[in-house]
Amino acid sequence: MKRNYSLDLVKLMAAWFVVMVHHFKRTPYMDMSLTTETAFILTSFMNLLNICVPLFFMTTGYLLAKRQPDKRHYKGVIGFLIESTLLLTVAYFLNHTYNELPMGEKDWAKFVLNPPYYVSFHIGLYLLAPYLNRLIASLTDREERGLIALMTGLVAIPAFMKAFEIEYFHTFIRSAYPLVYYLLGSYLRRHPDALRLKQWQKLAGAAGALVLNTVVIFWLAEGGVYDPFIGTYDDILIIIATALIFSFFQQWQVPDNIGSRTASFMARYTLAYYIMGDYYSDIIARNLDFLRVSRNVRIAFLQTPVAGLVSIGVTLVLAIPVAWLAKYVTARIEPYFA
């Protein structure tokens, strides 16, 4: 089967955005008043970064759309658990050593058993995927689109109402946003031409949604600092932007060359970037405070894709060896569960 390099690019972009999000949240931008043109540009960029986890879940829905509830599928979760445990163990030692925190078996167990939320969400989606696929297969195309619209409304409307301090719906409904992205990814797998737009229209639509999101955030902030007033992953404008950008990459015919093959290799380790990037970007963002320049210059450097490249570069150097070791150990253990 021919390798789909476009999906590898989606996963790499999502991983880079994750590192950048963590990087942003440890920089002076979080204390910047939302009143200037610079703040508007940076907030729009922050909105773009917020499609990171949604892209991850959409890719999961796309890749698992045809899985069935059999032994072969469920063996896959074993490897995921082994890999994530090893990665979290390394992250634990990095975090506690750098921050000079006490280390012990109980602390380690607590750290590993409280992973980043997307790890838990991914495991849940992976376990549910075959049964979700059976449910989707029993629906007509119209019923499936109705389900996606209903789930999107149940997730996005409470998020928007929350911005006005209205909690008509219980907040647990908002937590179902991974299902929305899974359903969208699954639907685009079976209906690749569902979004009948030209490639440039998809990018323009996504950009428009992200900028409109910034306008709403500025309006609700009333001169205050950045805060996800209308939600992040459960925001309707983020959902729209994510779907359009994912569809753009889905339709992009990436040629088979050294660049795409390199991207494909790096995409194997996205879990490492997700887990480890948080701690690396934290260290980098704090250590960049030594820059003897004005606050505005420091902000301009820290909140740019260039600074993010520094963070993800360190993440790659440190995470790939750990991820390779995790996959090696996983390959040796998995046969015992055959």
* pLDDT tens-place string over residues 221-280: 888 888 776 768 889 999 999 999 999 999 888 888 888 888 888 788 788 777 776 665
Name 106's Cβ contacts closer than 8 Å, sequence gap at least 6: none
The SS3 assignment for 291 reads: coil
Please work out, in degrees rounded to the nearest 5, the angle formed at the alpha carbon of residue 221 by the alpha carbons of 210 and 229.
60
Alpha-carbon gap, residue 332 to 326, rounded angstroms:
10
Of the two residues 228 and 292, the one the predictor is more confident about is 228
pTM as predicted: 0.86
Tell me how far CA of residue 77 lies from CA of 55, 119, 136, in angstroms. 20, 11, 22
Q: Which of 30-34, 50-54, 160-164, 258-262 has the lowest mean pLDDT?
A: 160-164
Checking if the pLDDT of 115 tops 70, the result is yes
293 confidence band (pLDDT: 50, 70, 90)? very low
CA dihedral of residues 302, 307, 308, 311 (deg, nearest 10): -110
CB 30 within 8 A of CB 322: no
Please work out, in degrees rounded to the nearest 5, the angle formed at the alpha carbon of residue 152 by the alpha carbons of 147 and 156.
155
Using one digit for the tens of pLDDT, what is the confidence trace for 236-251? 999 999 999 999 999 8
Alpha-carbon gap, residue 95 to 258, rounded angstroms:
35
The SS3 assignment for 33 reads: strand
Alpha-carbon gap, residue 305 to 287, rounded angstroms:
17
Question: Residue type for 295, please?
Answer: R
Q: Which of 3-17, 164-178, 220-234, 295-309 has the lowest mean pLDDT?
A: 295-309
Checking if the pLDDT of 58 tops 80, the result is yes
